[in-house]
A and B are shown apart, each in its own frame.
Chain A
Amino acid sequence: MLMRVILAGALLTLPVAAAAAPKKLTLEQRVQRMEDESEIRQILVKYGTYLDARDFASYASLFADDGEWVGGFGRFKGPNVIQAMLEERLGKAEPGWINKQSYHLLSNALIQLDGDKAHVTSKYLFLTKPEDQNRPVPLLAGRYEDDLVRVNGAWKIVKRVTNGIIPYRDGNGPTPPPPPGLREAFTGEGRQQ
């Protein structure tokens, strides 16, 4: 109680203290918010790392048990289903496989926390090395829209919708066929490594 009075006193001496944080949060709650935001940023980055490594088991583990994947291949629910779908569509990486022809540049994360839930938007630029050029060339530009939830103390993706901007594809709209050469761009199949 004494601690609480002292903390309240400290807050009073800094009238604009509540500033960046919503009002009436304790110091600990404010630290928790910083930690939550930091953990969610890590998830966004891990997603790109696992995807580029075609490590779809680790990738799928970022989703909650009822987590939903909505993107260019359709709608899929649950880590096992998501993992199987991506291994089928993009191929399982051989042991020791190193990606030398594509990567996801992730940026513009905006994280809105609401207790044990969070809504997050971010952007991606998917770059590949075309067979006839020795340089990164942007292939897809888009926007992720995510809902996350805290499960047993860890943040998990409940829903990720991938929206194409260039080429344009409404993530919640009907699923058009994926752009030609997408699998090859990921896997490097059919080209000399």
Chain B
Amino acid sequence: MSLVLRAAALALLAAIPATAVAQSAASIEARLRRAEDELAIQRIIVDYAARLDARDYKGYVALFTPDGEWSNRIGSHKGPEAIRKMLTTLGPEGATNTSNYHLVSNPRVEVNGDRATATSRYLFVMRGKDGSPRPALAGLYADELVRQSDGGWKIQRRVANDVMPTREEWAKIIAAERAGQ
């Protein structure tokens, strides 16, 4: 075999595995990124509850895109200012919360490129009249999320659907408690 042929054969042999390795690395990277995306979105779902329960309104608002929207059956709050205003009905920012928390669970995440949808459940637990924790409100979250230019995810839309009690029943319960205080 001439030197040229031998060199060409060697180059060919080298080229095939290198391409295969590159493709395999790209596909492994894509699979890893998918798993990371799912985890990142699950983290947002939990972080949401952490910020809310800690009355960290700044952190809560930062989980949403600038055009982000929070809504339920009786209202919608769109953009950082509107969302922040909605939160202030819970009391002053940063106040120590000694009376309730959100347990979140059952996350389902579907990533589609730079967009994702997620559903999860919440159980809102309040201090009962006897001082013990009492499940007060149970419901579902449905989220739409968008990947940001820095790679992180943000919520573009969250819909909270109360199951037990319904939103209308809950509004009456809260009004009665406030009136009784």
Contacts of B126 in A (CB 8 A): 166
How many Å lie between the Cα of A139 and that of B36 in the bound state? 36
Asked if A138 and B25 make an inter-chain contact with CB atoms under 8 angstroms apart, the answer reads: no
Contacts of A27 in B (CB 8 A): 25, 28-29, 32
Contacts A105-B103, A143-B101 aside, 19 further interface pairs with beta carbons under 8 A come to A6-B25, A10-B25, A14-B26, A14-B33, A17-B33, A19-B40, A20-B151, A20-B152, A21-B36, A27-B29, A109-B46, A110-B46, A110-B47, A121-B50, A125-B125, A165-B97, A165-B99, A166-B131, A167-B127
Asked if A19 and B151 make an inter-chain contact with CB atoms under 8 angstroms apart, the answer reads: yes
Asked if B125 and A138 make an inter-chain contact with CB atoms under 8 angstroms apart, the answer reads: yes
Asked if A7 and B25 make an inter-chain contact with CB atoms under 8 angstroms apart, the answer reads: yes
Contacts of B50 in A (CB 8 A): 108, 110, 121
By the criterion of a CB under 8 Å from any partner CB, how many residues of chain A are at the interface? 39
How many Å lie between the Cα of A14 and that of B126 in the bound state? 46
If over half of A's interface residues share one DSSP class (helix, strand or loop), that class is named, otherwise mixed; here it is mixed
B37 within 8 A of A: yes
Asked if B133 and A141 make an inter-chain contact with CB atoms under 8 angstroms apart, the answer reads: yes
How many Å lie between the Cα of A177 and that of B126 in the bound state? 22
Asked if A139 and B21 make an inter-chain contact with CB atoms under 8 angstroms apart, the answer reads: no
Asked if A17 and B25 make an inter-chain contact with CB atoms under 8 angstroms apart, the answer reads: no
CB distance from B137 to the nearest CB of A (A): 14
Asked if A16 and B22 make an inter-chain contact with CB atoms under 8 angstroms apart, the answer reads: no
Asked if A166 and B125 make an inter-chain contact with CB atoms under 8 angstroms apart, the answer reads: yes
Contacts of A17 in B (CB 8 A): 29, 33
How many Å lie between the Cα of A108 and that of B26 in the bound state? 33
Task: Determine which of B18, B49, B98, B151 lies in contact with A165 in the assembled complex, contact meaning CB atoms within 8 Å.
Answer: B98
How many Å lie between the Cα of A21 and that of B37 in the bound state? 9
Contacts A9-B22, A107-B105, A108-B49; A19 near B147 (Cβ below 8 A): yes
B95 within 8 A of A: no
Interface residues of B (CB under 8 A from A): 18, 21-22, 25-26, 28-30, 32-33, 35-37, 39-40, 43, 46-47, 49-50, 53, 97-105, 114, 125-127, 131-135, 147, 151-153
Contacts of A123 in B (CB 8 A): 101, 103
Contacts of B39 in A (CB 8 A): 20, 34, 37
Task: Determine which of A6, A19, A30, A37 lies in contact with B22 in the assembled complex, contact meaning CB atoms within 8 Å.
Answer: A6
Task: Determine which of A6, A121, A138 lies in contact with B133 in the assembled complex, contact meaning CB atoms within 8 Å.
Answer: A138
Task: Determine which of A34, A108, A138, A143 lies in contact with B36 in the assembled complex, contact meaning CB atoms within 8 Å.
Answer: A34
Contacts of A141 in B (CB 8 A): 101, 125, 133
Asked if B97 and A10 make an inter-chain contact with CB atoms under 8 angstroms apart, the answer reads: no
CB distance from A145 to the nearest CB of B (A): 11
A1 within 8 A of B: no
Contacts of A34 in B (CB 8 A): 32, 35-36, 39
